[in-house]
Amino acid sequence: MDTLAGSAWDGGVAPFATNTKKLGMWLFLLSDSLTFSTAILAYAYVRLSSANWPRPFEFSPAVVNATFLTFILLSSSLTMVMAVAAAHRDEIRKAVIYIILTAIGGIAFVVLHLMEWFRLFAEGVTPWSNHYVVNGQPGDPLFGGTFFGLTGLHMLHVSIGVIYLCIIAYGFGRRKFNADHVEVSGLYWHFVDLVWMFIFPMVYLMSVNLKG
Amino acid sequence: MSAHGATAEATHQPGSKKLFMWVWFWLLILTGVETFLAYLRLEPHLMLTLLIGLSLIKAALIVAYFMHLRFEKIGLFLIIVPSLVFCLTMILIFVFPDSLRIAQLSGLGH
């Protein structure tokens, strides 16, 4: 890594001074952030061009619940940072505990989010219909499509992240993986957190009921 | 984005526990501000502008500190962030305004 002889373009082995795993993860996250960006922009697109877009969420419980989900994800990111730091200091036990705490945060997020989904299903909000009335018309069915699409895509990423973290915790605990593997899984986890920082305001806060 | 990428690599973990706690704390504060804006029920355009601004700050904090990009070689930053900004700008310029045209056609008058 430190054997950069002369110019990085002149046969240098690591122009970015990172290992290939980390560079690969960064490039994946770049493409994944475009996936999420286009999904969020598509949501904004159909919402702006719709005359009967519902704003159904009450401040409590929907927005309070989503704020709590944000708190869980941010805290799991903090434990992941601690896990990476411990892994680089070669404190294997500590790192594994922090990774497992992070995974527990992810599981809590998915469970609480699914409970909210089922509450909406019970109210009659599905990906293709809803019972809201906006300006005397039925609410735009795309509301459910975009809501469940965006949050579902994010939930899928969290679920994959939990599986990924469990594998890393197992492998790192058994010294099959090194600290670089933990760091790369951390990049993925922080990215999932980062995406939620856009979905939370766009989907929840912009949908708070204006009537109060 | 330190220019001393090689040094950062050697020490492996730049940034202390205290620093990460501070970043986490500020992320929570900014989240609280966003939720408070929803509680105030501001006018949608102003609300959207403030929320996007706050979210970009939060995203920058996560990328810079939690994802360590601030401590990597600047080359890594340069292949990731400008290309993302470029792609999003292209979408915003060439695709997104069409939704406003549809809204005008249907007499929404945004």
Q: What domain range includes position A169?
A: 20-207
Q: Is the residue at A12 inside a domain?
A: no
Q: Is the residue at A14 inside a domain?
A: no
Task: At B54, list the tokens.
Answer: 């706050």
How sure is the predictor about A11, in pLDDT bands with cuts at 50, 70 and 90? Answer: low
The pLDDT > 70 percentage for chain A reads 93
pLDDT tens digits for range B37-57: 999 988 889 999 999 999 999
Interchain proximity A82–B17, CB inside 8 Å: yes
Cβ distance A196 to A73 under 8 Å?
Answer: yes
Does the structure show a pLDDT above 70 at B7? no
Distance of alpha carbon A23 from the chain centroid: 20
**What pLDDT shows up at residue B73?**
87
Task: Please name every residue paired with A30 in a beta bridge, in sequence order, or none if there are none.
Answer: none
Distance from CA of A118 to the nearest CA of B (A): 23
Using CB atoms, which residue from B35, B80, B95 is nearest to A26? B80
Interchain proximity B67–A191, CB inside 8 Å: yes
CA–CA gap between residue B64 and residue B58 (Å, rounded) = 10
Q: Is the residue at A1 inside a domain?
A: no
pLDDT tens digits for range A27-69: 999 999 999 999 999 999 999 888 889 999 999 889 999 999 9
Dihedral, A9, A11, A14, A17 alpha carbons, nearest 10: -50
Cβ distance A54 to A134 under 8 Å?
Answer: yes
Interchain proximity B51–A205, CB inside 8 Å: yes
How sure is the predictor about A84, in pLDDT bands with cuts at 50, 70 and 90? Answer: very high
How sure is the predictor about A177, in pLDDT bands with cuts at 50, 70 and 90? Answer: very high
**Residue B73 Rama label (left phi>0; alpha psi -120 to 50; beta):** beta
Q: Is the residue at A61 inside a domain?
A: yes
pLDDT tens digits for range B19-29: 999 999 999 99
Distance from CA of B2 to the nearest CA of A (A): 12
**What pLDDT shows up at residue A9?**
61
Average pLDDT, chain B: 84
Q: Is the residue at A8 inside a domain?
A: no
CATH number reported for the structural domain that contains residue A167 in this entry: 1.20.120.80
Residue pairs spanning A and B at CB distance below 8 A:
150
Task: At A205, list the tokens.
Answer: 């806060």
**What is the number of structural domains in chain A?**
1
Interchain proximity B27–A205, CB inside 8 Å: no
Cβ distance A21 to A181 under 8 Å?
Answer: yes
